[in-house]
């Protein structure tokens, strides 16, 4: 445990402060005021909550991505010593602030890629909650981080678990990692049973409290597929070194198996505040009042193989990872559009996977994409997926 008088406050920026991860990160910072200083918070269009957060936590700077809401935010915060900006370009510019040490990227989807690149180029360490950044452009991002001597600390509970298991083991070879999945709300259901799933049903995750997009991804197992791709880049692994196993209780967050056969697992209650705090405070573990795990309350921990035939998204993600190039970018963009279509009740639960698969078959494959190729692939995939929804 660190001593407060020997700890220099870490200056934090939160991209996407109004989302599930962002709001929990603010709670973590508020509970550790002696260790963290809040420099910047951003939101896309949720001006009301951004204003509430700014008044409560008093960051030095606030950015609202939607320029049409700038006057609303500026007027509400006019009496406070807070700098207010609007637009995505303003986010990129604010990340150049020399005071910022670590950036929590909690924006949802492809939108998180450009700010993450800007933060890395500005020499900021990354607490990565936006898994799509590594799914879409993992090779580019990891190379850029190395070139700029920037560390990427995983915030996803599964990747945080792997990261924690590897502490003190950096020189020991990994045989494989095992990412655990709860199985979502529809574990054990057949394809026929999934044909009439509603949005309300899909948004009820059995263990985790998350945003709408990631909750739907968890229901289809696409979230686990995206995590498989992210793990490849975070831990420099081959696809065959990444295994997924269903663990309905969500107590073991993931496991590392070393080449001698020994295994290390990280355990705890399903609470995202712990991996958020660990990423922001690394390498130190800060004291917390998070709920503690009690073995007597969980006398049985169970494990089973994922049903890849029923939940085909996981198989599609493995295929995208093995194919490489821009295929994971196609997978991600198609999935974002498909999930939005399902949440808007324009397509069925099973249609989401169909749309992703169709896009993977139709869109041009690029073996060695540039950053421009990723952007173009994302745009074209969204267009094709949107047309599929209309039809």
The model's pLDDT over 13-55, given as tens digits with 9 standing for 90+, comes to 999 999 999 999 999 999 999 999 999 999 999 999 999 999 9
Instruction: In whole angstroms, give the CA distance from residue 181 to residue 176.
Output: 16
The predicted structure's pLDDT at residue 110: 87
Percentages helix, strand, coil for the chain (3-state, rounded to 5) are 50, 15, 35
The predicted structure's pLDDT at residue 7: 60
Question: Quick check: 4 pLDDT over 70?
Answer: no
Q: Please say whether the beta carbons of 254 and 139 come within 8 A.
A: no
pLDDT more than 90, % of the chain: 93
Mean pLDDT of 142-150: 97
Q: Please say whether the beta carbons of 155 and 176 come within 8 A.
A: no
- Closest C-alpha among 12, 7, 8, 10 to residue 25: 12
Mind listing the domains of the chain with CATH numbers? Answer: 4-154 (3.40.50.720), 159-269+292-390 (1.10.1740.10)
| Degrees, nearest 5: CA angle 15-21-24 | 110
Which region, left, alpha or beta, applies to residue 184 given φ > 0 means left and ψ of -120 to 50 means alpha? left
Instruction: In whole angstroms, give the CA distance from residue 3 to residue 262.
Output: 34
The predicted structure's pLDDT at residue 391: 81
Q: What are the start-end ranges of the H helices in the chain?
A: 20-31, 47-57, 70-76, 88-94, 113-121, 132-147, 157-166, 191-194, 199-202, 212-220, 222-235, 273-281, 313-323, 327-343, 349-362, 371-390
Here the tokens at position 67 are 């320029």
Query: Strand, helix or coil at 322?
Result: helix
Instruction: In whole angstroms, give the CA distance from residue 262 to residue 246.
Output: 20
Model pTM above 0.75: yes
- Closest C-alpha among 239, 216, 367, 381 to residue 315: 239
Here the tokens at position 216 are 């739907």
The predicted structure's pLDDT at residue 6: 58
Instruction: In whole angstroms, give the CA distance from residue 185 to residue 120.
Output: 36
- Closest C-alpha among 99, 150, 129 to residue 25: 129
Predicted confidence (pLDDT) per residue in 325-367, tens digit: 999 999 999 999 999 999 999 999 999 999 999 999 999 999 9
Predicted confidence (pLDDT) per residue in 282-300, tens digit: 999 999 999 999 999 999 9
Here the tokens at position 193 are 């049973």
**Long-range pairs, 358-362, Cβ under 8 A, ≥24:** 358/334, 358/384, 358/388, 359/330, 359/331, 359/333, 359/334, 359/384, 359/385, 359/388, 360/316, 360/319, 360/320, 360/327, 360/330, 360/331, 360/334
- Bigger pLDDT: 391 or 263? 263
The predicted structure's pLDDT at residue 2: 47
The predicted structure's pLDDT at residue 1: 40
Predicted confidence (pLDDT) per residue in 94-117, tens digit: 999 999 999 999 998 888 999 999
């Amino acid at each position: 445990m660190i001593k407060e008088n020997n700890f220099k406050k870490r200056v934090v920026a939160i991209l996407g402060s109004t989302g599930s991860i962002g709001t929990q990160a603010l709670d973590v910072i508020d509970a550790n005021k002696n260790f963290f200083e809040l420099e910047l918070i951003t939101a896309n269009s949720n001006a009301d909550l951004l204003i509430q957060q700014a008044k409560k936590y008093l960051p030095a700077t606030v950015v609202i991505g939607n320029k049409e809401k700038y006057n609303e935010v500026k007027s509400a915060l006019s009496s406070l010593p807070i700098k207010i900006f609007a637009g995505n370009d303003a986010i990129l510019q604010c990340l150049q602030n020399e005071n910022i040490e670590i950036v929590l990227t909690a924006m949802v989807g492809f939108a998180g890629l450009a700010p993450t690149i800007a933060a890395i180029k500005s020499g900021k360490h990354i607490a990565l909650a936006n898994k799509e950044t590594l799914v879409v452009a993992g090779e580019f991002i990891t190379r850029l981080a190395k070139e700029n001597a920037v560390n990427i600390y995983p915030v996803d509970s599964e990747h945080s678990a792997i990261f924690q298991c590897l502490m003190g083991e950096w020189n020991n070879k990994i045989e494989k990692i095992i990412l655990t999945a709860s199985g979502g709300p529809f574990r054990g259901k057949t394809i026929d049973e999934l044909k009439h799933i509603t949005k309300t049903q899909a948004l009820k995750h059995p263990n985790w409290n998350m945003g709408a997009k990631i909750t739907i991804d968890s229901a289809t197992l696409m979230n686990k597929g995206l995590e498989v791709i992210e793990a490849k880049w975070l831990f420099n692994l081959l696809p065959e070194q990444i295994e997924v196993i269903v663990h309905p209780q969500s107590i073991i967050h993931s496991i590392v198996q070393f080449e001698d056969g020994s295994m290390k697992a990280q355990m705890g209650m399903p609470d995202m505040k712990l991996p958020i705090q660990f990423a922001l405070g690394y390498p130190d573990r800060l004291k917390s009042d998070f709920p503690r795990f009690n073995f007597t309350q969980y006398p049985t921990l169970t494990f089973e193989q994922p049903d890849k035939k029923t939940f085909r998204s996981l198989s599609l993600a493995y295929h995208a990872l093995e194919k490489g190039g821009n295929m994971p970018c196609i997978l991600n963009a198609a999935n974002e559009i498909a999930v939005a279509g399902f949440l808007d009740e324009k397509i069925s639960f099973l249609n989401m996977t169909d749309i992703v698969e169709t896009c993977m078959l139709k869109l041009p494959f690029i073996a060695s994409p540039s950053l421009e190729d990723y952007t173009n692939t994302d745009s074209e995939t969204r267009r094709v997926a949107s047309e599929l929804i209309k039809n």
